[in-house]
């Protein structure tokens, strides 16, 4: 690490809250979530080309990072030496996320990266078994003293702001109390993921936007809303329903890297934090209110997925920073999913590609990516053939509706969100009306209505 980078004489005064949000982050509305093995540098570069205004790194384990014997862990998770990660010209604004349960180790790790990012985030939301084992993420939700110390230690000692990403509690009251505690501890931005700790995997269901709105109204730092974003229209709905300052997407953006493309710039919050806390988000929002009809699709946000895949591969190839094979594979499978379920021979070929042995450690250099490029080129040929067959039809004419969910399915050559079929309902004695998924994610549905969205597999 270069000591001059974080030297207080060269660094501008540390800003907080809305000053930080506006002046350093440039008032981002469209935010890519931290994603283990998926929000790596190459993906960040691609995402910024398609409208992402702020991106988080994948979660870094502070205990592992602080341990000098784990040199590989450092290089694989944030490559300082390459000079590309956190580069002010090409990889900002950037927030580095850590998970931790030891304030000193967290501080030691964060200090090493404070010169390469705009803020450090603490993951308080991971509900996975690995987080339970390591006691971090959502498994700290009941230890408020420790969480306070983690945040406050960074708030007091780092030259850049600390932020926090958390899940909601079963009640609005406890969620709001919790958010206020995070703010008191020193968090300068709060990302509220509107799902409970228990809502994971097949049981993910919908995020509760009404809790996010309650948080937004209770704190005076910027709030990002996370959960339920599949299509661009959900972004507008979410901003209106929650009053949040920005919308964060993980899976929606992973399956469609162009999720944020072509969106209009939205004015940032006004200069004081209190005036940006909406008493009535529907009237203060710059976004027009939604109608009951699904809003028209913005073609710019649904480009050819194989073109996105090829562009991503060329970014991977252009970087000095290594990209893990598992990240590349994960992105290609997700981006091209609508077509891979039909072009099963290409799916099989992609599954069989082996680069240099043990996936996790392999760097992608020279022509190593060629097998993926070849598969994508063949996919491109087939997709162009299919698109040609319906030439002249509009996008809306080509859209179909997924019966179980009521959600829109685009032609299989276009980037689009993925939603799983809902789990079959438990056997009932009496005949009941068929459960139907809501197409309109704008409302924060009460618990009874949240049978619904059908998220894809996640790792955190
Ligand atoms: C592949 C993947 C990796 C993730 N890794 C992280 C992570 O490193 N840190 C974190 O706070 N959340 C992580 N998450 C959770 C997301 O950031 C986000 O909170 C969650 O997926 C809900 O947002 P969504 O509805 O837009 O998917 C991950 C999610 C996915 C799908």
Nearest Cα residue to atom 31 of ligand 1 = 458
Q: Is 460 in the pocket of ligand 1 (CB under 6 A)?
A: yes
Percent of the chain with pLDDT over 70: 80
How many domains does the chain fold into?
A: 1
Under a CB-based contact definition with an 8 Å cutoff, are residues 208 and 247 in contact?
no
Q: Is 441 in the pocket of ligand 1 (CB under 6 A)?
A: no
CA dist., res. 98 & res. 249, Å (int): 18
Nearest Cα residue to atom 2 of ligand 1 = 35
369 inside domain: no
458 inside domain: no
Q: How confident is the model at residue 53 (pLDDT cuts 50, 70, 90)?
A: very high
- pLDDT recorded at residue 355: 81
Q: Is 36 in the pocket of ligand 1 (CB under 6 A)?
A: yes
355 inside domain: no
Range list of β-strands (E), 315-374: none
CA dist., res. 300 & res. 305, Å (int): 12
Under a CB-based contact definition with an 8 Å cutoff, are residues 67 and 24 in contact?
no
364 inside domain: no
In the three-class reduction of DSSP (H, G, I as helix; E, B as strand; rest coil), residue 242 is classed as helix
Indicate if the pLDDT at residue 199 is higher than 50.
yes
- pLDDT recorded at residue 18: 98
Q: 262-317 pLDDT, tens per residue? A: 998 766 554 444 333 343 333 333 343 444 567 889 999 999 999 999 999 999 99
Q: Are strands 223-226 and 190-193 parallel, antiparallel or unpaired?
A: parallel
Indicate if the pLDDT at residue 374 is higher than 90.
yes
Q: Is 34 in the pocket of ligand 1 (CB under 6 A)?
A: yes
Indicate if the pLDDT at residue 460 is higher than 90.
no
CA dist., res. 179 & res. 165, Å (int): 10
- Give, for ligand 1, the residue of 32, 35, 228 to mutate: max count of ligand atoms closer than 8 Å to Cβ: 35
**Token reading at 436:** 């139907």
182 inside domain: yes
Q: How confident is the model at residue 422 (pLDDT cuts 50, 70, 90)?
A: low
250 C-alpha vs ligand 1 centroid, how far in Å?
5
Pairwise pLDDT comparison (287 vs 43), residue with the higher score: 43
Range of the structural domain that residue 121 is part of: 17-289
Q: Is 229 in the pocket of ligand 1 (CB under 6 A)?
A: yes
91 inside domain: yes
- pLDDT recorded at residue 357: 56
Q: 316-339 pLDDT, tens per residue? A: 999 999 999 999 999 999 999 999
Count, residues in the chain: 460
392 C-alpha vs ligand 1 centroid, how far in Å?
38
408 inside domain: no
DSSP secondary structure, 397-434, as one string: HH-EEETTTTEEE--TTB-----PPPPPPPP-SS--PP
247 C-alpha vs ligand 1 centroid, how far in Å?
13
Q: Of all residues in the chain, what percent are helix, strand and coil, respectively (each to 5)? A: 40, 10, 50
**CATH number of the domain residue 33 falls in:** 3.20.20.70
Residue 376 designated active-site: no
From the candidates 99, 117, 126, 238, give the one annotated as an active-site residue: 126
In the three-class reduction of DSSP (H, G, I as helix; E, B as strand; rest coil), residue 37 is classed as coil
Nearest alpha-carbon partner for 254 in 107, 96, 35, 30: 35
The ipTM estimated for the assembled molecules is 1.00
Average pLDDT of span 135-141: 97
32 inside domain: yes
């Amino acid at each position: 690490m270069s000591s001059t980078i974080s030297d207080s004489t060269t660094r501008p005064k540390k800003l907080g809250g809305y000053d930080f949000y506006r002046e350093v982050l440039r008032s981002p509305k469209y935010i890519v979530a931290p994603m283990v093995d998926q929000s790596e540098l190459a993906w960040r570069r691609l995402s910024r080309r398609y409208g992402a205004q702020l991106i988080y790194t994948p979660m870094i384990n502070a205990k592992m990072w602080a341990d000098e014997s784990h040199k590989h862990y450092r290089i694989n998770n944030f490559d300082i030496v390459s000079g590309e990660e956190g580069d002010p010209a090409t990889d900002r604004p950037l927030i580095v996320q850590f998970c931790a349960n030891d304030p000193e180790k967290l501080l030691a790790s964060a200090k090493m990266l404070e010169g390469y990012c705009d803020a450090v985030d603490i993951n308080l939301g991971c509900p996975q078994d690995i987080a339970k084992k390591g006691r971090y993420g959502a498994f700290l939700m009941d230890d408020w003293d420790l969480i306070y110390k983690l945040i406050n230690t960074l708030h007091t000692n780092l030259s850049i702001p600390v932020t926090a990403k958390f899940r909601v509690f079963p009640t609005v009251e406890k969620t709001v109390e919790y958010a206020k505690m995070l703010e008191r501890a020193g968090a300068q931005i709060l990302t509220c993921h509107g799902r409970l700790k228990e809502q994971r995997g097949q049981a993910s269901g919908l995020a509760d936007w009404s809790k996010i709105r309650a948080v937004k109204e209770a704190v005076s730092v910027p709030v990002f809303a996370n959960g339920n974003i599949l299509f661009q229209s959900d972004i507008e709905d979410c901003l209106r329903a929650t009053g949040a300052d920005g919308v964060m997407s993980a899976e929606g953006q992973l399956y469609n890297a162009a999720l944020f493309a072509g969106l209009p710039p939205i004015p940032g919050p006004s200069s004081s934090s209190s005036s940006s806390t909406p008493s009535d988000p529907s009237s203060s929002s710059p976004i027009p209110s939604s109608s009951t009809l699904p809003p028209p699709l913005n073609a710019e946000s649904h480009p050819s997925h194989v073109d996105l895949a090829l562009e991503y591969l060329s970014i991977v190839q252009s970087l000095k920073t290594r990209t893990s094979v598992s990240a590349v594979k994960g992105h290609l499978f997700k981006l091209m999913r609508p077509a891979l379920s039909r072009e099963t021979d290409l799916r099989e070929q992609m599954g069989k590609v082996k680069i240099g042995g043990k996936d996790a450690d392999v760097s992608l250099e020279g022509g190593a990516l060629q097998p993926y490029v070849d598969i994508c080129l063949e996919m491109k040929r087939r997709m162009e053939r299919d698109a040609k067959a319906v030439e002249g039809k509009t996008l809306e004419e080509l859209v179909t509706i997924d019966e179980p969910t009521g959600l829109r399915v685009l032609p299989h050559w276009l980037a689009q969100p993925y939603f799983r079929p809902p789990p079959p309902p438990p056997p009932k004695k009496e005949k009941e009306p068929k459960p139907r998924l809501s197409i309109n994610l704008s409302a924060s549905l009460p618990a009874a209505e949240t049978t619904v969205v059908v998220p894809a597999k996640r790792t955190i």
